[in-house]
Amino acid sequence: NAGVMQNPRHLVRRRGQEARLRCSPMKGHSHVYWYRQLPEEGLKFMVYLQKENIIDESGMPKERFSAEFPKEGPSILRIQQVVRGDSAAYFCASSPPGRGFYGYTFGSGTRLTVV
Amino acid sequence: DAKTTQPPSMDCAEGRAANLPCNHSTISGNEYVYWYRQIHSQGPQYIIHGLKNNETNEMASLIITEDRKSSTLILPHATLRDTAVYYCIVNTGKLIFGQGTTLQVKP
């Protein structure tokens, strides 16, 4: 019974490159949430997706960031033209259909370092 | 913005109960209170949640006041491994994390 799987665990990118972070939700979970945690700070909500739909992207930066959750395959958080300030831990969570009654299950995160 | 207020830090002696308070005075009638914790830089770990009744599981107990404006998470016998940041969250359709309480369990 695998939990939420995120990969890669660590990602190093040079400034200006693209970063792709993947999240496979728990089996039976159709809702995915992305959070960002800057060093020494709390978790910030970024985006909430269901299969093929973005439900709430109120926490997403207006530029360079995008997210998708296709019908097949993992959810992808994409950061274009990365800058040093994008260095952070990115966590994905998933929940069953509904309003998250059972809470979210979080993955172990992807640590992005921009050099 | 988070709908909860928590003390920034607390200490607890190993083996004693840790009582972590949380204020959520603007909570709506159908919104659940969730507790998570984050150990070091790991992914947040679910602890417990409740609506208006007190709840208990193998990890902790959750006491919610009758007016639902505050709650307390109780770790009955804290261990050193319980040292973490504890987040109290009102589920408004998405989980918004505040600053949490850093609990330091001391030998």
- Number of cross-chain residue pairs from A and B with Cβ atoms under 8 Å apart: 51
Tell me the average pLDDT across A43-71.
94
Asked if pLDDT for residue B71 goes beyond 70, the answer is yes
Tens digit of each residue's pLDDT (9 = 90 or more) over A14-41:
999 999 999 999 988 889 999 999 988 8
Q: Would you call B43 and A103 a contact, using CB atoms and an 8 Å cutoff?
A: no
Q: Would you call B99 and A42 a contact, using CB atoms and an 8 Å cutoff?
A: yes
Query: In this structure, are residues A5 and A23 in contact, taking their beta carbons and an 8 Å threshold?
Result: yes
Asked if pLDDT for residue A1 goes beyond 60, the answer is no
Mutate to test the interface with B, among A104, A105, A108 (most CBs of B within 10 A): A104
Residue A73 zone, left/alpha/beta (φ > 0; ψ -120 to 50; rest): left
Task: Place A75 in a pLDDT band, splitting at 50, 70 and 90.
Answer: very high
Among A56-60, B63-67, B72-76, B96-100, the least confident range: B96-100
* Closest CB to A103 among B34, B43, B98: B34
Chain B residues within 8 A of A4 when measuring between CB atoms: 43
Tell me the average pLDDT across A86-108.
85
Asked if pLDDT for residue A100 goes beyond 90, the answer is no
Task: Give residue A102's pLDDT.
Answer: 62
Q: How many CB atoms lie within 10 A of CB B40?
A: 7
Could you tell me if B39 lies within 8 Å of chain A, comparing CB atoms? no
B63: closest CA of chain A, how far (Å): 18
Could you tell me if B29 lies within 8 Å of chain A, comparing CB atoms? no
Query: In this structure, are residues B72 and B54 in contact, taking their beta carbons and an 8 Å threshold?
Result: no
Asked if pLDDT for residue B2 goes beyond 80, the answer is no
